[in-house]
Structure 1
Amino acid sequence: MSSGAEIPEGMSADARETWPSAELISSWLGDVDLDVEWRPGEVSEVHADDPDAVARARTFRDVLGSFASGVTVVTAVSNGEPVGMTCQSFSSVSLDPPLVLFIPAKTSRAWPLMQRAGRFCVNFLAHDQAELSNTMASRGTDKFASVDWEPTEQTGSPLLHGALGYVDCAIHAVHEAGDHYVVIGRVLDLALGGPERPLLFYRGAYTTTD
């Protein structure tokens, strides 16, 4: 591992040892044939010639989709360029030390760039930001072309205008979990953005509170 001076503030000293290899990261950046949509902008590979596998995947998606969750956009700056991905799978983990997690698919193109950056910001979307969620869930090459944002003070990651709040983090550890990775971040900074209603995702569609 490189010298400790290159480790971002708040990152575990052995965090890089839990990260995927450079070869695996590069392989994620290629095109992948995808079949079953799971979360906004996220799909998982299922063998289309196996009807039972497809049926099980759809049942899994439909049942788990009955659990309503908030919608976030995870952002970072990699090689001087902003990157982002819509993420429904986010959670707090620990108060001491302050840790959170998000769970990107192995097919994600944004995650390898975030991994290289070593830091990220989780933006909590408001009820009127469904279009922003769709933009960040797309595979477009310039997702930020019409998005208003500013860099966070701690990591320089994009803080999206209009977000309900944000959590700015350094990567603490990464763990393999089936066709996803569990990314644990150490919180460096966080704040609320406003009293607006949250954007939620429920049974394959956006919704919000009354």
Structure 2
Amino acid sequence: MTAEPREFRRILGHYPTGVCAITAIGEDGRPVGLVVGSFTSVSLDPMLVAFFPDKSSTTWPRVEAAGRFCVNVLADSQQAVCSALSAKGEDKFAGLDFALSALGSPIIHGALAWIDCELDTVHEAGDHYIVLGRVRGLDVHHEGSPLIFHKGGYGKILPL
């Protein structure tokens, strides 16, 4: 059996993913960011995380050039942040509040948690890259529920 890309995407849409914003300061000194639903922890020793940007992303090269980035775990109330950082254009951060991490990457206000990383390695993987980040700092901003992507839409975890 050979699966078609459209069917592959439909089937994998049944698996919910968290939504993270990857942020950095570009070479021009302006904040840059992209949204990923493919983020994972990789190793405890050394502490490594990974995400998978699309090769067609126009933002990823700017994050890569920075050599560092911050993973912002978006809260279920931050769908507007997700939309802003997913949009095409130069000023994705218009109206977004953030502070700078110790490495100088944007930590988005209201994110549940953040993970400050130095770029470790990048591998090609089909139409995406596998980006490994070496964790240099992390914290929980506040308690809450994460923004979830499932079957083409956004949702949240309901309390038991």
Shift of 1:152: 0.5
Unaligned runs of at least 5 residues, structure 1 = 1-54
1:163-174 matched pairs, under 5 angstroms = 163-174=111-122
Residue equivalent to 2:47: 98
2:95 paired with 1:129 = no
RMSD of equivalent CA atoms? 0.9
Higher strand residue share = 2
Q: How many angstroms apart in 1 are the aligned matches of 2:127 and 2:65?
A: 20
Residue equivalent to 2:101: 152
What TM-score results when the alignment is normalised by the length of structure 2?
A: 0.95
Residue equivalent to 1:76: 24
Higher helix residue share = 1
Shift of 1:91: 0.2
Shift of 1:164: 0.2
Please list the CA deviations of residues 169-190 of structure 1 after superposition, one character each: whole Å capped at 9, or x if unmatched. 0011000000000000000000
1:30-45 matched pairs, under 5 angstroms = none
Shift of 1:88: 0.5
Of the three residues 136, 139, 142, the one matched with 1:188 is 136
What TM-score results when the alignment is normalised by the length of structure 1?
A: 0.73
Please list the CA deviations of residues 94-125 of structure 1 after superposition, one character each: whole Å capped at 9, or x if unmatched. 00000000000000111100111101000000
Alignment size in residue pairs:
155
